[in-house]
């Protein structure tokens, strides 16, 4: 569909692929007619939020266009929400007949070139050491849930997160000295990921990460469907660890990184106790980026591979 302003109607016929990961460098191909032989001031716009908030001209023109011809456009996929693709061709707005399904997203600093907050060898032993708050450490159900979610992340993605061998009494906040998981009095429901980072023109990295789990929730710590309480601890923790491992939100139903983790529609799938295939692909790619960056600075070396994914403690 196009909105015509007295000109020959440009037309989008199809998109390829229809399922994609945002911010990972995958290329989206847009086919049709009437796009023009060169981009000029024309641009593509991706959905950024619900309801129907799309990139403005500044963001659309800043994308990395790999190819632009009258019948085909190739553009590097930014972080975005699932939805139709909008194009502005000489003042004519074009909308794709197909929905682009964005199954996972990276949190990127910029879209052209794609840049990230990297993970580094922060603890000097390969990655990041996480502490469990004493309240959860002394609760065997909560501690088991944290341990098993960490094993899920380590074994499926290779991310070098380990647990400390003793608890902490620190509370979740943007604390640059510690990574922790603990009860949080400041959030009404669900969980929250606090990220402390350092950024420069040359390199950006995560300094510390805290995950707060709402003290207002009556948590169910087990697997599968809820048996009591109002929220599933493992699922919320898996979502917040997804943020720690570089993922942003998506609006795709069934994905762990859907913005809601304790309300409908996510109540329809939170019985799942594992990451989706797309989330595993995205985090694994992010881990490789964090293992292979060339930048070096004081205390900054790449994330190291893990040797035994089931060894979740230091």
Q: Is pLDDT above 90 for 310? A: yes
H or E element in which residue 220 lies:
strand 219-220
Give me the residue label for tokens 């620190």: 170
Please, are residues 198 and 207 in contact by the beta-carbon 8 Å criterion?
A: yes
Element at 232 (helix H, strand E): strand 231-232
Domain borders along the chain are 2-106, 128-291
Per the CB < 8 A criterion, the answer to whether 283 and 159 are in contact is yes
The model's pTM is 0.95
If you average pLDDT over every residue of the chain, what do you get?
95
2-106 under CATH 3.90.1200.10, yes or no: no
Is the model's pLDDT at 239 over the cut of 80? yes
The β-bridge relationship of strands 231-232 and 219-220 is: parallel
User: Residue 244: which of 179, 187, 184 has the closest Cα?
Assistant: 179
How far apart (Å, rounded) are the C-alpha atoms in residues 15 and 134? 51
213 or 51, higher pLDDT? 213
pLDDT score recorded for residue 7 = 57
Q: What share of the chain is helix, strand, coil (3-state, %, to 5)?
A: 20, 35, 50
The total number of residues shown for the chain amounts to 314
Give, in words, the CATH class of 128-291: alpha beta
Instruction: Quote the pLDDT of residue 236.
Output: 97
């Amino acid at each position: 569909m196009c909105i015509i302003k007295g000109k020959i109607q440009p037309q989008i016929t199809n998109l390829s692929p229809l399922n994609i990961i945002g911010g990972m460098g995958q290329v989206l191909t847009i086919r049709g007619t009437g796009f023009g032989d060169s981009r000029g001031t024309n641009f593509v716009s991706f959905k950024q939020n619900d309801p129907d908030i799309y990139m403005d001209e500044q963001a659309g023109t800043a994308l990395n266009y790999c190819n632009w011809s009258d019948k085909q456009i190739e553009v590097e996929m930014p972080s975005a929400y699932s939805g139709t693709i909008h194009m502005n061709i000489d003042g004519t707005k074009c909308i794709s007949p197909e929905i682009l399904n964005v199954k996972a997203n990276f949190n990127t600093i910029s879209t052209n070139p794609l840049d990230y907050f990297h993970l580094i060898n922060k603890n000097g032993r390969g990655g990041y050491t996480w502490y469990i708050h004493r309240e959860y450490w002394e609760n065997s159900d909560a501690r088991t849930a944290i341990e098993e979610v960490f094993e899920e992340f380590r074994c499926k993605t290779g991310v070098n997160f380990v647990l400390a061998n003793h608890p902490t009494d620190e509370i979740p906040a943007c604390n640059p000295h510690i990574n922790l998981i603990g009860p949080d009095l400041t959030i009404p429901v669900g969980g929250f990921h606090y990220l402390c980072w350092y950024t420069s023109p040359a390199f950006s990295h995560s300094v510390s990460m805290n995950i707060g789990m709402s003290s207002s929730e009556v948590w169910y710590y087990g697997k599968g469907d809820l048996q009591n309480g109002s929220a599933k601890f493992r699922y919320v923790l898996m979502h917040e660890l997804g943020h720690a491992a570089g993922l942003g939100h998506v609006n795709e139903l069934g994905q762990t990184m859907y913005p809601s983790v304790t309300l409908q529609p996510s109540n329809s799938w939170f019985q799942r106790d594992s990451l989706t295939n797309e989330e595993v692909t995205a985090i694994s790619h992010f881990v490789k980026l964090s293992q292979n960056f060339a930048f070096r600075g004081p205390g900054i070396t790449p994330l190291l591979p893990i040797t035994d994914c089931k060894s979740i403690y230091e």
